[in-house]
Every structure is written in C-alpha cells, then in structure tokens.
Structure 1
Amino acid sequence: MEDKLFIPATNAYSEALDLAKEKHLYNVAGYICSYMADLYTYTGQRSEERRKYEEAAAFFKKANNTRSYAFALRDISITWVFEDSVSLALDLMLNADSIVTEMNDSVGIASIANGLGNIYKHLDQIDKAKSYFFRSLAYDTINKASTYMALSHMFLNNGLLDSARFYLEKTGSTSRNPYFYSDRLYTNYMIEEEDNNPLEALQYLEQYCEAKDSLYDVKMQVDIIDAEKRHDSLVVIRQNQKLYSIIYLLSGLILFVSLTSVLFYLYKNQQRLDKINKQQQLLDEKEQLLAKLENEIKQKGIIDISTSKEEDMQIREKMVQAKKEILILKCEKLQHSLLFQELIERTNNKKKYGQTLSEQDWENLKELIDSACPNWQAAVQDIETLKKAEIETCYLSFLNISIKSEAMLLGINPDSANKRRLRTRQALKLANTKTGICEFIIQKTLENIVI
C-alpha cells in the first residue's frame, strides 16, 4: 500500500482475509476489509469502497468491537455522501454518533462530528454544520486538518474568502487522507479564482492536476477489482475441488446406504410375506376343518337320535372354535396387509402420501376390516348405538396407532382425536378399563359366533 503497488496489496489482503474468516477471527477480518476499502479510496471507486466497509461493519459486529463498528458506519456514510444519498448517509452517521457518545470516546466523537458537519453542509444547514465542526475541534486536539478543510470549503461556498483562507492555512500540509493534498491545492485554486487572482489560481490548478494524476488512473481501478475477483475465483476453484472430493465420497456413501436400505427393505418385506403365508396356511387349514365339520353335520342327519345330539354338540363346539381361530388369524393378518402398512407409513411420512384419509381410503379400510371381522358392529352395538365418528374410531383402532397419528389421518388436532377416542370408549363401556377398543371389538365378535 505504501508503495502504491495495489495489485500485490490486494492479493495479500485477500489471502489474509480468507485466513481470518477460516479461523473465525472476525475482528481481524474487519480491519482487513477496512484496509481493502482504503485501496478503493485511492482509486476513487466509491461503490467498491462501500462494499468493503459494509463487510468490515458486519465483522466488527460479530466480534463485538463496538468502536470499530461505529467507525465503519461512519465510513459507509461518507461513501453515500459522495453519491448524493445524503439522507441515508445522515442516518448512518447519527447511528455512529450515538454509539461513540455513549462510549464517551473523544476521538470517535470528534471524527463523527466532523462527518455530521460535512453532511449538514451538503444539506445547506450551515448553523448545524458549524456546531458539529467546532465540536470536532473541541474533542480532537491533534487531527484537525480535515475539520479545518471542511470549514474552509463552507466559508468559500458562502463567499467569506478571508475565513476560507484562514482555515485552509490551519490545515497544514499532511494528512492520512490520500485526497487531502490534492484537495488542499484545489481549494486554494478556487479561493484565488473567486478573489480574481488568475495567476495564483492557475499555479494552484496546475499543481492540483499533477497531484491528482499521480494519485490514480483508470487502468489502476480496473486492475484492483480484477485482482480481487481473480483471487475470489481461485478460492472458488479450490473450494470446488474440495467439494468434488466430498461429493465423490458422499456419493459412494449414499450408494452404500441406498443398497443397504434396499436390501433391508427386501428382507423386511420377505419377512412380512413369510408371516402372511404362514397365517394364510393356518387359515386355510382352519377353513378346511370348518368345511369338514359342516359336512359331517349334514351327513349325520337324524341317525341314532340318542347319540347324534351329543356328537352334534361336539362337532358344533369344534366349528365355533374353528370360526374363532379363523377370525383371530384374519385379524392378525390385517397388520401385515399392504393397506395397513401404507396407512401406518403415511403417519410417519405425510409429505410422501398426504395427510388425511380420502373417501376411497375409508372404503378400502372398512372393506378389509369387515372381511376379516364380519358383523363386528352388530356385536358391539348391543351395548349402545354408535355414532358415525365413533364407528370411524373403531375402524382406526385396528391400525393400533397413536392419538397423534390418528389425528393426522382424520385431519384434526390431537385434542379432538383424543376426545373422539374417549367418547367411543364411553359408548363401549370401556371408560374405566384398560381394554383396548380393537381388543374389545374382537372379543365381542368372538362371543357372538354361533352355529
């Protein structure tokens, strides 16, 4: 920076900023962004300068560096003044002023008072501008050059040439501001021109042009932006290379997990099918036994009345027992049916399947349960006639799901689902028992089986 080698400076700052961000050194990152903004100050690129000051402000805020945060707000405000967004600049500067005033920071108060003075000068509020300029001089007894320069400009604009010269002479000849020297020469030129001294004015103008030309040129502006962008591009390329490596690793991991999940699903599905097949085999055996018993009763007719009644009773008892076992097997088989599996899965993944049961869902559910447990409504309604909502709760009880899941399938809140279930239990006289609704339905259906 001191040698005005701006491209190497940009590269060095960019690398330093990457390291600071990587190590979460937010205070250091804030200062580096401020230094990078100074690069754009030299080249007169206000929008780029503001961008870096805004980044600095964000880092200082993360680091809880309130003082530097206030100065960053001040610097952002100044860039808006140069773009004639004075109202926005004023809000930022007043915010910065409230921070340093609360901290009782004399240097900060002086610096930001100078900024407020310049803003009010742009707004032609001369009294307020003077007040803040003199406040700045009162708080900072060392770095007064910029405030004297601002006073000189203000008096020049108001035609008070002697006062303008007086304050310009007080500025001295040095400042940390890269524009200060050329600005001082240009102010001298304007004063002499206004005072009708053309020779002196021309001398100052020539010196000003030389100073300005040595400060920056257009090519330099583009090079700095390009340097920062080139660095950012290299960082992105490196990040992408790391990202590709991570992607390849994750792809392999995802493939492994996917294959494992598929195999596990196939294993669980095979288990489910094996269970269904075993239940179906038992069911077939029981149904064959039932058919055999029914056939025996038909064949016996009225032969040997004295013994046939006893044999008939035994056969009928066996038939009842077979029917009960068939009903229990069918109800157990429900749990492994595709419809039950889908409905239970729906409660765990509502994004995939949707939320509430459709009319077709209800029809399918009722048909499946009624085929496994026929006449269950007649069996339970000898206690009390059930309402539509209570009958639906009875059907859902076969799924053996939680209140929350039941509420999701019904499209109501859990409290409402809980109340529905309590009313159903009351209707079935189960309020003070631990018997489940589904268990009670199967039990009552079994009791009603007759030949």
Structure 2
Amino acid sequence: MGLFLGRAYAEDGEWDLAMQMYTEALHYAKEYKVYNVAGYICTYMADLYHFKDMYNEIREKYAEASSLFSKAGNLKSQVYAMKNLAVEYAFIDSFLYAKKIMKKADSIASTLRLQIMDYNIANAYANIYDLQKRYDLAEKYYKKAISLDALHGMNDSIGLADIYVASGKIDLAKELIDKMILRDSLNYLLNELYVEIYKSKKDYKKALHFNEICFNISDSITIKQNKAKVFEIEKKYNHLKIQEENGRLKNAQQRFLIYFIITLAILIISSIVFYFYRKHTKMQLHWQEEKLYSLDKERSEIAAQLSEARHSLETIQEDRGENIRLQQKILSLSKKYKELQKQRLEGSAIYKKLSSLLVKPQPNNNKPLLTDKLWNMLVIELSRIYPGFRSSLYEQCPNLSEEECRYCHLHVLGFDGNNEAVLLNINPSSIWMKRTRIKQKLGSNLFKEQTLHNILVDTFLN
C-alpha cells in the first residue's frame, strides 16, 4: 500500500510525501522479508534522490536494491540495479569501481541469456567509456547496443554521433545524424550536434541556422515546462483547497459529534434525575396519603370511642375523667391531621405550578394564568385533601356561583391579594370586592370579624 501511495505522490510532484511513504513501506517490506518489493522501493527512492541531486544517497539505494534483489532471486532486476550503480560511480570518475560492478553484472546477465540484458550491459559500458573519454571503446559498445535493440536505437545513435563529433569523425557523425533527423527534425540534441558539426567545418551560416533551431526548440520546451509548472501549481493549489475543505468538514463533523454526545449525555442525565425526582415525589405523596389515611382512621376510631364514652357518661358519672382524656386526644389528632393536610396541599403539583407562575414575570400578558385545565386540577386536588369542602360551601350557601366557588378553592391556598390578582389577571381591588361579596353570602353576621381565608379554613375545611 505504501509503495503505491509513494508512486502516486511522486507522480504528483509530492516528493517529500512520496519519500515518507517509501521509507515506511521499505521498513515493513524488510521486516516481513519481502525482498523483491523492498528492492523496487529502493530503486524508486533512488529516482527521487535524482531530483534533489543527492548522489551519495542514490548510490546507496542502488547498492541496497541490488542486494535485496539478490536475496529475492530476481537476477534481472539485480543486473539493472548494478548497471545503474556502475554508471553513478562513473559520473564521479570512479571508473575502476564502475567496471568492477559491470563485470559482475555482465557475469549474471550472461546466465539469463536475454537480449534485453545484453543490450543494457552494452549500453552501460558505452556510457562509462564515453564518460572516461575512451571513444574507441564507447563507439564499440554503442554499435553493439544499437544492433541488440532497435527500440532504444535513437538514444544510442545520438550517443554514437556525439562520440564521432568528440573524436573528430565529423563525416560519420553527419551521415548518422542525417538519417536520424528524418525521423525527428525537432530533436534538440540532433540539432545541437549539427551546430558542432558545421562549426568544425567552419560553415558558420549553417551552424547559426541550427543554433536558432535549438533556441526555438529550447523556447518551446521552456514554454511547455512553464505551462506544466502552472498546471502543477494549480493542481497543488486545488489539492490544498480540497484538503483544507476536507479538514474543515472533518472538524465540523467532529464538533457536531461532540455536541451530539454532550446533548445526549445531558438528556440521559436529565432523564435519570427526572425519573428519580418523580419517583421520590410519588413515594412522598404515597407516604403522606398513608399517613393521612392512618390519622383519619385513628381519628374516626377515637371519635367513635368518644361518642360511646359520651353515651356512657349519661349513665356512669365516674367515666367523666376518661371522657375528657378522649376529647383531648381527639383534639390533638385533629390538629396533626390538619397540619398534614396543609403539608400535602403545599407539596401538591398544582400548588407548585401556581407558585412557579408567580415567580416568573410575564409582561404584556392579557390572559388569566389560571387556565381551565389548572382550575380543574385545583378543584380535584382540594377534593382529595378536603373531601367535604365543596359540598360544605354549597350547603352553607346554595346561591354561591360556580366562579365564586372556584375562587374559594384558590383562596384556600393562602396567596395574598396581589398574587391572586396576577393569577386571575384582574385588579387587586376586584379581589377585595370578590372576598367581601362571598363573605356576605356565607353569612355576614356569623363571620363578621373573620377574614374569608380564616372562615374557609376554620369552618369549611373541617
């Protein structure tokens, strides 16, 4: 995988990334003893070092590639690596060492008996002797290479023509170039050789002509290279833009995922807290109901005992002390019962809901906060806590309206006049008038000195 990624990066001109991929791939190839792949990676790394003129590293990688191909048993690739290594040593004038490497490569190639291998050996010797300026031997091996491989004949023919020019065989060079120029008239090297040939013949007019052709070819190549560079820059720019956009999208996706996880965690925690809160509230209400039921039952039993004691008191005077004790017990239990009823009322959902509405100001509100739904909840809750409250009101005052009856249910909660006015969305003065009117209906003489709240709590809730 790293090998193919490295090749892709190299083709895109991303040499540093390509080298990074090659280095990682080479490490794993050696670790798992995939020597053939490791050898190819080394040759690709040597190619990259050519772009950076890192000649020591080039030779190291070709030598390493040769060793790895040998371990893999890939003799053909080993010969190619050794040939490249020998030519690199020839470039630094280490001709003896280059020939030593070539002698070993030639020995291996001879066992393969492949024409392409013989061609590569001949081509390498030609290049080495050309660099050493031993033109007679270079000519020999160029001719041999041309005879072995017509596919590469053009390059070897140019090399041979260059040898002819360098060794003063001008006519042979011109004859060879005349044949090649028919196939490729815009070949820069061929036209450059024409310049050298006509300069040697002192035909400066023709030399100038071919020199101008070389300039035109060079300009054309430069323009193409510049266009290619511009295209490459645009390609890199677009690639960077895509990478930046991908990074931005990736960051956005990560932020969304983090927000989603946080939101989900908050929802889960809130659900758990709400569940336990509801469970605690239900348990508390259940406990209060059981407590009220227990006290109510005990109160009824004591009331029955008191009734029986009163009946017995008429016949047995000595039971007076016991009767008084029972009456005191009933009063004590009644007081506790009232307190529990009050606690249950203040802990009810409707009481808390109305309290929360009063805490949160609602400006520009022109409707009562107490909706029909909340009124129904209030009446039902009071009927549970004080079962005889509504019937007692109508028994005392049959002409009480439904609106006034509902207000009595609200007034029992103990809110002051201003709060009641807010809940009903009326003026506080209207609250005072409403209370006065209800007191009159309930019996003004009987409750003249008491507030409406005290009348409802002391008389009708009990």
Q: Is the shorter-chain TM-score for this pair beyond 0.5, marking a shared fold?
A: no
TM-score, with structure 2 as normaliser: 0.40
What is the TM-score when the length of structure 1 is the normalising length? 0.41
